[in-house]
Amino acid sequence: MSEFDVYIDESCHLENDKQPVMLIGCVKVQASEKIRLGKLFNEIQKSYKSPTELKWNTVSQSRLNLYMALIDAFFKETGLSFRSVLIKNKKNLDHEAFNQGDHDQFYYKVVYQLLNTPWMMPSQSGNGDLNTYRVFLDIKDTRGRERLAKLKDVFDNKHAGHSQFKSFQHLHSHDSFWIQLTDFLMGAVSYKARNQHLKPTASLVKKSVVDYLEKESGYTLNEGTPPWESKFNIFDFQIKAKVKGSSDA
């Protein structure tokens, strides 16, 4: 049996933020490798004299070499991987028809799609024991405790009380490099998916990070990857507009 820690963050996740996309992503770290990997990434940050928090919204040209070094380490090292659910055409969401009129219901469904996937495979170790997961979420709002309880209930119910997801808890992003790394990688996916790279005012450093991530991953960030992609996985979830005159029946 192997144990993993999963760190989840969100982007453009509010219902009425006028963004065309929504993302929920995570970095998965093998528990037995977490201390070693944490020290490795910490040393990389120190070597570039960059002790500040890693966040996509605050990337700067002066730290471009650091970002590339972090990306290099991510793709070189085993024991960690990234997955994001990229929801396009967010304006087409019909919560009344499909989510009991509640945007939070859709949020839970997306987190379930993020985690309950072959990307979590191999689900069993060589001796047949199931892998287990602890899940950590960045604190976003005052409804955090309610969300954690609901997510645990969802997985317990889906797996008849035998969920491999053993715990759900909150962390502040400034206390967790892994949530920061999730924010950084997901921010690049969001930037490309929202076509920010095409604007005349596009950030040169963000474009450079996007280009480098695409080169190292082998994928275009605003498109999906094969479902079996284990290192850098993007689920391209496009919300279709309801056909006029159609019935829900």
> How confident is the model over 139-153, as pLDDT tens digits?
766 566 777 888 888
| 88 within domain boundaries | yes
What pLDDT, on a 0 to 100 scale, did the predictor assign at position 103? 56
Return the CATH number at 95.
3.30.420.10
| 247 within domain boundaries | no
What pLDDT, on a 0 to 100 scale, did the predictor assign at position 236? 87
| 135 within domain boundaries | yes
What's the structural domain count of the chain?
A: 1
Dist. CA 221–CA 58, nearest whole Å? 20
Q: What is the pLDDT of residues 8-44, one digit of tens each?
A: 988 745 455 566 688 899 999 999 999 999 999 999 9
pLDDT of 45 above 50: yes
| 41 within domain boundaries | yes
With 0.75 as the threshold, say if the pTM is over it.
Answer: yes
8 A C-beta contact, residue 206 and residue 191: yes
The chain-wide mean pLDDT, for the chain, equals: 83
Dist. CA 87–CA 23, nearest whole Å? 6
Those residues whose C-beta lies under 8 Å from the C-beta of residue 223, and which sit 6 or more positions away, are 234, 236
pLDDT of 223 above 50: yes
Q: Name which residue leads in pLDDT, 121 or 97.
A: 121
Could you tell me the sign of the dihedral formed by the alpha carbons of 214, 116, 114, 95, in that order?
A: positive
| 175 within domain boundaries | yes
What pLDDT, on a 0 to 100 scale, did the predictor assign at position 249? 35
Q: What is the mean pLDDT of residues 87-115?
A: 66
Q: What is the pLDDT of residues 48-92, one digit of tens each?
A: 988 778 999 999 999 999 999 999 999 999 999 999 999 876 665
| 244 within domain boundaries | no
| 82 within domain boundaries | yes
76: left (phi over 0), alpha (psi -120 to 50) or beta: alpha
Percent of the chain with pLDDT over 70: 79
- 242 closest CA partner among 50, 89, 116, 114: 89
pLDDT of 120 above 80: no
| 211 within domain boundaries | yes
8 A C-beta contact, residue 20 and residue 194: yes
Q: Which residue segment(s) compose the domain that 106 sits in?
A: 3-238
Cis check for the bond before 122: say yes or no (omega within 30 of 0).
yes
